[in-house]
Amino acid sequence: MDKNYNTTPAIEQFEARLLMSASSTLAELAAAAQNVEIHTTGSVSVSSDLAANSSNVYKFTAAATGYLYLDMQANGSSLDSTLKVYNNSGYLYYQNDNATRNSKDSRVSMYVRAGDTYYAVAGGKDTAGLYDLSFTSNPYDDIANTLASARKLSLYRGSGLAYGQMNYSDDQDMFAVVADKSGRMIVNLNGTSWANFNTELFAYDAQGNLLGQDDDSGSSTNSQLTFDIVKGQTYYLAAASANGTVGWYTMNIQTQFVGEEIQVASTGTTSIGGLVGAEGKIYSS
């Protein structure tokens, strides 16, 4: 039997079919979605109820880059929940049925990027009842935000330099410095050339009392603070953003020392150079 080698094979348009399906899914999700505002840190919750084999849709946008945890728990009911998360193109991103082996609740742990939008579909599997759905943000943060967990910044002859990043809109990076001399500390906080954000700077004493804050005393939208320091004392410096934008920065510290002692020659002339402050102290230049 002769074979026909001139037959053109039929090619299924698989990719086109996938795109059409995702587009249809996205339209359905958007039409049914309730908006949930996610915070950069902490949790927000919504509560509702489900009929058997039904679902509710929630639209949310990541406020910060990092991890986001969705927990769906029955609220006084026997609901056997399911959770699905779709991205903004309509593709299934994550899904979960049972959070643990013996649990009917559901949990999704997902990595998100700031500004990306998702759809969470909360469902009930052959069961009905009330539920709570929580969204918990755990953003990436290069430097801690509190005095207790401040990053130590060493000084050498009163000078120090640090680099950091505002990772999300209300991020605050805390540094701890120990004065190696008494005098006047000058701190400049500058956004890098590729990070166009408005810096804000705060200074605290060892007890957490505010010594000063500044927005735009530095060049352009950069910040500068000047305050008196005492040798051996700890001070905290907080870098922040004044307008909620994110980006990289540098923190530069300089110290004008107070002269501790002047040795006067028995003959000839002894001279010193420096700055005289309003209170009469002489600061080395």
Residue 101 · residue 137 · CB < 8 Å: no
**Backbone region of residue 134 per phi and psi (left: phi > 0; alpha: psi in -120 to 50; beta: other values):** beta
Beta strands (DSSP E) in the chain are: 33-36, 42-50, 55-61, 66-74, 81-87, 92-96, 106-112, 117-124, 129-139, 151-152, 160-166, 172-178, 183-191, 199-204, 210-214, 223-229, 234-241, 247-257, 274-276, 282-284
Residues in the chain: 285
* Distance of alpha carbon 205 from the chain centroid: 25
Fold (topology level) of 19-139: Jelly Rolls (2.60.120)
E strand or H helix at 20? helix 14-32
Q: Do 19-139 and 151-284 have matching folds?
A: yes
Give the model's pLDDT for residue 96. 94
What CATH topology corresponds to 151-284? Jelly Rolls (2.60.120)
Sheet of 117-124, strand order: 33-36, 55-61, 117-124, 81-87, 92-96
Domain spans in the chain, listed from the N-terminal domain onward: 19-139, 151-284
- Quote the pLDDT of residue 219: 66
> Is beta strand 282-284 parallel, antiparallel or unpaired with respect to 274-276?
antiparallel
Alpha carbon 242 to its chain's center: 14
The pTM score is 0.69
Q: What pLDDT tens digit does each residue of the chain (285 aa) get?
A: 454 544 444 433 333 333 335 666 788 889 999 999 999 989 999 999 999 889 999 999 999 899 999 999 999 999 999 999 999 999 999 999 988 888 899 999 999 998 899 999 999 888 999 999 999 999 999 899 999 999 999 999 999 999 998 888 889 999 999 999 999 999 999 987 665 678 899 999 999 999 999 987 766 778 999 999 999 999 999 999 887 777 889 999 999 987 644 444 555 544 444 444 444 454 554
Residues 6+ apart with CB under 8 A from 162: 151, 153, 175, 250, 251
- Please name which of 232, 229, 171 lies closest in space to residue 199, comparing C-alpha atoms: 171
From CA 73, how far away is CA 43, in angstroms rounded? 15
